[in-house]
Amino acid sequence: MPRVSGRYERSTTSTEDVNAFVPFPLPPREPDLVLDAKALQSAEEALRHIEVAVEMVPSLDWFLYGFVRKEAVLSSQIEGIEATLTDLITVEAQPPNAPDADVQEVCNYLAALEFARNQLADPSGLPLSMRLLNETHAILMSGVRGEGKAPGEPRRSQNWIGGTRPGNAKFVPPPPNLLPEILTDLEKYMHADTHELPALVRVGLVHAQFETIHPYLDGNGRLGRLLITLLLEHWKLLSKPMLYLSLYFKRRRDDYYQRLTAVRSHGDWEGWMSFFLEGVAAMASESVKTAQKLFRLVTQDRERMLSADGVSISAVRLFEQLPRRPILTAAGVEAMLSTTRPTATKAISTLVDLGLLKEVSGKQRDRSFVYVNYLDVLASETV
């Protein structure tokens, strides 16, 4: 007999009455969730491999810089935002230029993630709670499309997914009057001291439940995927946010939505968890390979630079900053190295002559330079 994962409640909108779906509290019951032990083991082992890989590299900051930004871009792209990783890094290299609307949304994602991580890491900060998610959501939606849809506040009106109105929607989330109770149940599940299910499984369950609740008028998809990143770190499955799982969701966007729909329509939590665990295993493996590839590239380029004649200390110092600043300008290098403009320009020219940097702006002034080989690897599938 299929599992029932929720019930329907009549919800009144300004134009019509609809049946809104109200999910039952986690974990799945009647029957209890049946785990694919092999898929779970593969995903957990893949996460451990990330931890081993990052211990072997000299600078975790390199990879955190790139991987966090890649996840921010990919999660935003799932929602139709067109900014690329190169767009984001270009804007960061050229302050105080205001980013366009799409890039600003990605910048907000980064700011929201940083805020939430800092709060959870601070003993006096906000705990994992709806208050934390509300404040994170406010940052996510600040000054961008959707900023007029009550940022930081659970919705007070009925929303829907797909269709032109609630009556022809693909899915109608819970009525707003039931949100306090439903969100309290979710918060209690995240806070519970004892659990019968492994932490990684709980991450997948919480994400699906959050997306089903759809507690905000906008930004639910991005915040729900940001929540995965937070939980992986907060529940000590990863020491740092080194997994860009949104790439898996982007590659298999239709499957992603269909699996979430099947949870609601048929109680198919097993199908969702198999999909989720497969994604964790696949993207953890890719994260390790990407980290190794970037490390080899930097090592080889460093050796080539150090073996060249007449390389200045400033050029060496600049090279060591490239993984954190793969796109840069002379003004940026001047500030980064706390040096003069002529010294900064000479350091850039040295790396250009060695083929490590490439001028890409085509301008005479305010030119931009890119660590092309590094960015090509990091930015894969973000365009």
Where is the domain boundary, 260, 290, 320?
A: 290
Specify if 299 maps to a domain.
no
Specify if 95 maps to a domain.
yes
Q: What is the pLDDT of residues 305-343, one digit of tens each?
A: 999 998 999 999 999 999 989 999 999 999 999 999 999
Statement: residue 186 has pLDDT above 80: yes
| Together in a domain, 53 and 116 | yes
State the pLDDT at residue 96.
67
Supply the pTM of this predicted model: 0.93
Statement: residue 272 has pLDDT above 90: yes
What is the pLDDT averaged over residues 161-180?
Answer: 92
Residue 175 banded pLDDT, cuts 50, 70, 90: very high
| Together in a domain, 244 and 334 | no
| Together in a domain, 212 and 321 | no
Q: Count the domains in the chain.
A: 2
| Together in a domain, 333 and 271 | no
| Together in a domain, 190 and 63 | yes
| Together in a domain, 359 and 260 | no
The CATH number covering residue 338 comes to: 1.10.10.10
| Together in a domain, 131 and 53 | yes
Specify if 301 maps to a domain.
no
> What's the mean pLDDT when you consider all of the chain?
92
Report the alpha-carbon distance of residue 211 to residue 225 in Å, rounded: 9
Where is the domain boundary, 239, 255, 290?
A: 290
| Together in a domain, 196 and 343 | no
Residue 147 banded pLDDT, cuts 50, 70, 90: confident
Domain of 86, in residue numbers: 6-290
Specify if 22 maps to a domain.
yes
Specify if 123 maps to a domain.
yes
Statement: residue 360 has pLDDT above 90: no
Q: What is the pLDDT of residues 53-92, one digit of tens each?
A: 877 776 778 888 889 999 999 999 999 999 999 999 988 8
| Together in a domain, 196 and 86 | yes
Statement: residue 253 has pLDDT above 80: yes
Residue 282 banded pLDDT, cuts 50, 70, 90: very high
State the pLDDT at residue 148.
87
User: How many CB atoms within 10 Å of residue 292?
Assistant: 13
Three-state SS annotation for the chain? CCCCCEEEEEEECCCCEEEEEEECCCCCCCCCCCCCHHHHHHHHHHHHHHHHHHHCCCCHHHHHHHHHHHHHHHHHHHCCCCCCHHHHHHHHHCCCCCCCHHHHHHHHHHHHHHHHHHHHHCCCCCCCCHHHHHHHHHHHCCCCCCCCCCCCCCCCCCCCECCCCHHHCCECCCCHHHHHHHHHHHHHHHHCCCCCCCHHHHHHHHHHHHHHHCCCCCCHHHHHHHHHHHHHHHCCCCCCCCCCCHHHHHHCHHHHHHHHHHHHHHCCHHHHHHHHHHHHHHHHHHHHHHHHHHHHHHHHHHHHHHCCCCCCHHHHHHHHHCCCCCEEEHHHHHHHHCCCHHHHHHHHHHHHHCCCCEECCCCCCCCEEECHHHHHHHCCCCC
Residue 99 banded pLDDT, cuts 50, 70, 90: confident
Statement: residue 14 has pLDDT above 80: no
Where is the domain boundary, 230, 259, 290?
A: 290
Say if CB 202 and CB 32 are below 8 A apart: no
| Together in a domain, 138 and 257 | yes
Say if CB 178 and CB 22 are below 8 A apart: yes
Specify if 303 maps to a domain.
no
Specify if 1 maps to a domain.
no
| Together in a domain, 129 and 243 | yes
| Together in a domain, 224 and 342 | no
The CATH number covering residue 152 comes to: 1.10.3290.10
Say if CB 132 and CB 116 are below 8 A apart: yes
Statement: residue 197 has pLDDT above 70: yes
State the pLDDT at residue 93.
85
